Amino acid sequence: MLGPPYRHLGPLPDLTAEDLRKSVRTLLGDPTAEVSDWTGEPIGYESWSRASDGLYLVRGTATGYGGNRTWELVLKQVRHRPWVPGPRDLARQIDDGGDGPADWAYWRREALVLGSSLPYAVAGRFAAVRCLGIVPLPGDRLRLWLERVDGTPGEAWTARELLDTAEFLGGFHARSLRQPPPFQEWWCRPFLEQAALRGRFALIDRVADAETSADPAVRGLFRPGTATALRSLARRHAEAIRMMRSLPTTLVHRDLTPRNLFRTAEGTVAIDWGQAGLGPAGEDLATLVLSSAAAADLDPAATLALGSAAAARHATGMAEEGDPCDPEDVVLAYRLVAAYHFGLPVVRIADRLLSRDAASRTEAAADPGTRRRVAVMTALVEEAQRDL
C-alpha cells in the first residue's frame, strides 16, 4: 500500500437519521430533536496521518420543542491503516510505521483525547473543538462527530492573530501545569523521541556532499559548517532528550499548523488532536510559530523575530494564570524542537538536489523558495547549538 500523504475526496458515507440523532440533539441542546433532512459533502484535505479516513461537512434541519432548526456538523472518520515505511519514508516524515499506542499515527488517539475531559479541563481562550459523538465502526474504524468551528482559519491570520494565539496557548499550558493530566499509554511520544528521526540523521552526509559540490549553485545553497552543526544534533540527541524530559510537562497538541486552528470571538479553537500528549510547552509554541512562518514564506530573520515575539506573548499568557513555569524553559524546548523537527529536514533538500541530473539540479538550487527554506532551516539548527 502507498504511504502518505493521504487524500480523501470520496462521497459522504451512507447515513441514517439514527446515525445523526444523538449528535444533533447534543449540538442543539434539545433532547427531543428529530432529524428531518440532511446533505453533506467532503472537505478536501491532505493528511500525513495514516489514521485519516475522510472529512465531511454535514448540514440539515431538525424538529424539536424549538420548532424547525438548522444544524451543521463535521464528520471525521479515522481508521487503522498498517504501513511499512522504507528508509526514504523515515526521512520524509515523523511516522515510523509503528502501531503502538504511543506511536505517531496511533489511530484511536484523537478519539481518546476528545472523548475525555482533558482538553476541556484546562480550556480557556485556547480550547479543543467540541466533540459531539464517537461511534465505532466495523473494520477498525471510528466516526467522530465534531462541532463546526465558525471562525477565521489559521491560513488567513494576521501576525497579530498568531501572537494573540501564542498568549492564549500560554494560558492553556499554565492551567495544564496546575492540573497535570495523568499518564496514558496512548499519549504520543515527544518530537525528539520519535524513532523516525534516525532516517534524517542518516542523510546528514548528503549535506556535507552538497557543501563541497562541484555545482556552484548547490554549493552556495549550504553554508559551510551546516553538516557539522547537523552532526552535533545527531551526536547530542540523547542529551537533548534528557534536557527535554527535565522540563515541566504539560498537555501539548503537537500539530498547531494553520489548517488546524480557528480564531473565534472567544479565542482560538484547535482541531485534529491526533498527536496530543505530554511534553514541554515549547513543543506547541514551535509548531504554532514555525509552521505559520513557513506558510508565510518568512526569511530567517523574520522567522526568528516571530519566535521571540511569540515566546514573549506565551510568557504573558502563562503569567496571567499564575506563571507556574520559567519562560526560559519554554524557549529551550522551542529551540530544540525547532532544530530537530523543523531544521533537520534540510537533509532531505540536499538529498533531493543531489539525486537530480545536472541541469535540473542547478535550476532547483537557484529557486528562491528553496534558498529561503534552506536558510531558515540552517538558522534553526544553528540557534540550538548553544543549548547542546
Segment 180-199, tens digit of pLDDT = 899 999 999 999 999 889 99
Mean pLDDT, residues 97-108: 94
Mean pLDDT within 169-174: 96
CB 294 within 8 A of CB 345: no
Q: What is the 3-state secondary structure (H, E, C) of the chain?
A: CCCCCEECCCCCCCCCHHHHHHHHHHHHCCCCCEEEEEEEEECCCEECCCCEEEEEEEEEEEEECCEEEEEEEEEEEEECCCCCCCHHHHHHCCCCCCCCCCCCCCCCHHHHHHCCCHHHHCCCCEEECCEEEEEEECCCEEEEEEECCCCEEHHHCCHHHHHHHHHHHHHHHHHHHHCCCCCCCCCCCCHHHCCCHHHHHCCHHHHHHHHCCCCHHHHHHCCCCHHHHHHHHHHCHHHHHHHHHCCCCEEECCCCCHHHEEECCCCEEECCCCCCEEECHHHHHHHHHHHHHHHCCCCHHHHHHHHHHHHHHHHHHHHHCCCCCCHHHHHHHHHHHHHHHHHCCHHHHHHHHHCCCHHHHHHHHCCHHHHHHHHHHHHHHHHCCCCC
Contacts of 46 (CB under 8 A, 6+ apart): 5, 6, 7
The percentage of residues in the chain with a pLDDT greater than 70, rounded to a whole number, is 98
At the top level of CATH, the class of 152-383 is: alpha beta
Is pTM, for the whole model, over 0.75? yes
Average pLDDT value over all residues in the chain: 94
Please report which confidence band the pLDDT of residue 166 belongs to, taking 50, 70 and 90 as the band edges.
very high
Average pLDDT over residues 122-127: 92
Residue 123 has a pLDDT of 86
Lowest mean pLDDT, pick from 83-87, 105-109, 150-154, 227-231:
83-87
Which whole number is the average pLDDT over 207-235? 95
Whether 368 has a pLDDT exceeding 70, the answer reads: yes
Measured CA to CA, the distance from residue 252 to residue 276 in angstroms comes to: 6
Judged against a pLDDT cut of 60, whether residue 66 lies above it is answered with yes
**What is the per-residue pLDDT for 316?**
96
Q: What is the mean pLDDT of residues 335-340?
A: 98
pLDDT tier, 257 (very low <50, low <70, confident <90, very high otherwise): very high
pLDDT (average), residues 96-125:
93
Judge whether residue 8 has pLDDT over 60. yes
Comparison of pLDDT for 316 and 94, the residue scoring more: 316
**For residue 2, what pLDDT band results from cuts at 50, 70 and 90?**
low
Pairwise pLDDT comparison (24 vs 88), residue with the higher score: 24
In DSSP terms, which residues pair with 143 in a beta bridge? 77, 135
Q: What is the pLDDT of residue 88?
A: 82
Higher pLDDT, 8 or 200: 200
Mean pLDDT of 340-363: 94
Whether residue 1 has pLDDT greater than 90: no
- Confidence class of residue 47 from pLDDT cuts 50, 70 and 90? confident
pLDDT of residue 355: 93
The mean pLDDT of 78-86, rounded to a whole number, is 92
User: What mean pLDDT do residues 321-350 have?
Assistant: 94
Confidence at residue 344, expressed as pLDDT on a 0 to 100 scale = 97
Over residues 273-312, the pLDDT tens digits come to: 999 999 999 999 999 999 999 999 999 999 999 999 999 9
Domain with CATH 3.90.1200.10 in the chain: 152-383
